[in-house]
Amino acid sequence: MAIQEKSFELITHHKKKRSLWIDIVAVAVAVIVFIVPLSFIFLQASKTQHDAYFLNYSLPTHWNLFKNFHDLFVSSNGIVRIATINTLLVTFFSVAILVIISGMAGYVIARKRSRVTRVANFSVLSALIVPPAIVPTIWVLQKLHLFRTIEGLILIEVTYGMAFAILLFRNFMGSIPRELDEAAIVDGCSGWRLYFKVIFPLLRPVTITIIIISTVGIFNDFTNPLYFLPGRAGSTLQLTLYNFQGQFYSQWNLLFTDILYITIFPLIAFAFFNRKIVEGMTAGSVKG
């Protein structure tokens, strides 16, 4: 009996030791993947133009972070300020429209059984597979006089993200019993009121998930503004990186300051909404 207890203690000790090493390795990997690149960006953003030219992982000889931020905002006649406003506008309105339209579409597809909804469901699945066509989309925007406009880019972001959002809403809708719809209709609640008063509040977990995914994707989007919103007036934050890097002349200190500035927004969002992010992602994936 004593031998068995001793063996059990040895096994438990080895398991705890192995678990400790796994934790150490996981922390080390996290530091390498996240902390090292972020610290490299911070160091380059704190250097002078001459020191940043060498792109080495070393402390600055002169800390120039605040001056670099000042130069960033005044360079190119304030292009970064314009890009910040454009990016925030596109992100906010795209996510808001995406959540409203996708939620209603997912509700109809999940609740109604008809040929129209079957075609719509097939279209949603096809949109996840078929790649977007850039040239025909530009032609359509030109005909609608929306090319090179903030409104046109918002429609593009909503359209490209709608299929995935509808799929999540439709799958999550299966966890909401149909009896709620019937009870609401009996009480005289139908149409828009039925969805927004009864159904939409129950979609909060998956709505949070879609808001998080869509916000990160649209805020960090580089290709769509490049194709559909060219020009200085329509510049977004991701496109401002072009301003500090060229074939013959590169301002690496301002480039990394711009990268650091762009990174601040997701970091602030994560610091304030990390609990909501985890809850939304978990609930949406489990119930979906």
* Mean of all residue pLDDT scores within the chain: 83
80-287, what's its fold? MetI-like fold (1.10.3720)
Q: Name the percent of the chain lying above pLDDT 70.
A: 86
Confidence at residue 182, expressed as pLDDT on a 0 to 100 scale: 81
Give the model confidence (pLDDT) of 176-213 as tens digits.
Answer: 888 888 888 888 777 788 888 888 988 888 898 888 88
Residue 6 has pLDDT above 70, yes or no: no
Residue 287 has pLDDT above 60, yes or no: no
Confidence at residue 4, expressed as pLDDT on a 0 to 100 scale: 52
Beta bridge partners of 245: 250
DSSP class of 274: H
Provide the 3-class DSSP secondary structure of residue 245: strand
Give the model confidence (pLDDT) of 92-140 as tens digits.
Answer: 999 999 999 999 999 988 888 888 888 888 888 888 888 888 889 999 9
Question: Which spans in 46-149 are helix H?
Answer: 49-52, 65-74, 79-111, 115-129, 134-143
Residue ranges per structural domain of the chain: 2-67, 80-287
Per the CB < 8 A criterion, the answer to whether 43 and 31 are in contact is: no
Q: The whole model's pTM is what?
A: 0.81
Tell me how far CA of residue 109 lies from CA of 19, 124, 227, in angstroms. Answer: 46, 10, 32
Q: Taking CA 111 as the corner, what is the angle to CA 107 and CA 113, rounded to the nearest 5 degrees?
A: 130
Quickly state the pLDDT bin for 174 (edges 50, 70, 90).
confident
